[in-house]
A and B are shown apart, each in its own frame.
Chain A
């Protein structure tokens, strides 16, 4: 019996990462020149958590020292993160690479097609990653891009630590596979 395979249009090849990276560098420069904003993403999650908590426990949010420092509101960076999602959606729709998927290919090859396992790991990893990013004062956008273009020592140290932690975790998960 012939198997019926759903026919999706072949995905177009990727943009050259050096070209994309250089354009991102020009975009970062333009952002600093025109609006005086450096890229960053991790503070947005603090503001989002604060906004959610405001719905249930406004007094608790008002008393919290961190929410006093990073006010729970929608700011430039919040819209920047929302913009990344929107840009990716539009871009993937336009070049027909948009796919609803629950499990990434390399994850499936190692751990099988188990969406629940993948969801739990992504969720737990997200919890740890953001706590780490806030402790370090930035993520691969804030430290990795914006901090290192300014040659900040803190950002280069953070970037090295990001990779060390990530290399160790990847090694534990994939054990040479």
Chain B
């Protein structure tokens, strides 16, 4: 049953990514070249809507969170490395699959590179565990906990920040 839901959820997400052109190389690089903020608008709106909805539902006990641990070495170095690869590739793991779906053959090359890279990562894992991944772990920390305010002031700030950014983008036609 899980598998079917995965396919259905992915397909609906794929339709949205395709219709908003978020899965295009031109849009991804457009954001990285600060020329077209379509993907940032899409992502930030998703985050604000998702954050409000999930925190409301968590408050009444309907959903539970699944937070990733803050492993400083892994997140910072891995994040930067991901960024460099993303800039070269022009797709992230999800959008590469979507790009192939609308006929972009470079998406297939990106997917193949990602499968090879994942295999390499599995080989390097023991070494990485002793080095980069051992450089400090702050656990499953959230911003609300780190600031001691609880989630709502953070969400409010996030929404306000997103709103200001969107106004800036629209004025500059980005």
Residues of A within 8 A of B (CB): 14-18, 20-39, 41-42, 44-46, 48-50, 52-53, 64-67, 74-92, 95, 97-107, 115, 118-174
Contact = CB atoms under 8 A, between A and B. Distances in A.
A165 B66 CA distance: 26
Contacts of A36: 63-64
Contacts of A87: 10-15, 17-18, 98, 101
23 contacts: A30-B9, A32-B57, A37-B9, A48-B115, A49-B116, A49-B118, A52-B119, A66-B122, A78-B3, A82-B7, A83-B11, A85-B100, A88-B98, A122-B113, A123-B113, A125-B87, A125-B91, A127-B116, A127-B120, A141-B93, A152-B141, A165-B81, A173-B87
- Pairs of residues from A and B, 8 with the lowest C-beta to C-beta distance, nearest first: A165-B83, A83-B10, A87-B14, A126-B113, A161-B79, A169-B87, A135-B78, A125-B89
A105 B43 CA distance: 23
A106 B10 contact: no
B11 A164 contact: no
A136 B88 contact: no
A126 B6 contact: no
Contacts of A16: 20
Contact of B2 (A42, A75, A164, A173): A75
A129 B68 contact: no
Contacts, number: 513
Nearest to B169: A17
Interface SS of chain B: helix
Given A135-B74, A135-B81, A157-B75, A80 B114 contact: no
B90 to A, nearest CB: 7
A138 B68 contact: yes
Contacts of A26: 49, 53
A130 B44 contact: no
A163 B40 CA distance: 11
Interface residues of B, number: 124
Most buried by A among B33, B85, B107, B146: B85
Given A27-B9, A49-B122, A137-B69, A21 B45 contact: yes
Given A158-B75, A165-B80, A35 B2 contact: yes
Contacts of A146: 66
B67 interface: yes
Contact of B84 (A90, A128, A138): A128
Contact of B86 (A106, A129, A151): A129
B133 to A, nearest CB: 7
Contacts of B7: 79-80, 82-83, 86
A146 to B, nearest CB: 8
A45 B93 CA distance: 8
A142 B92 CA distance: 11
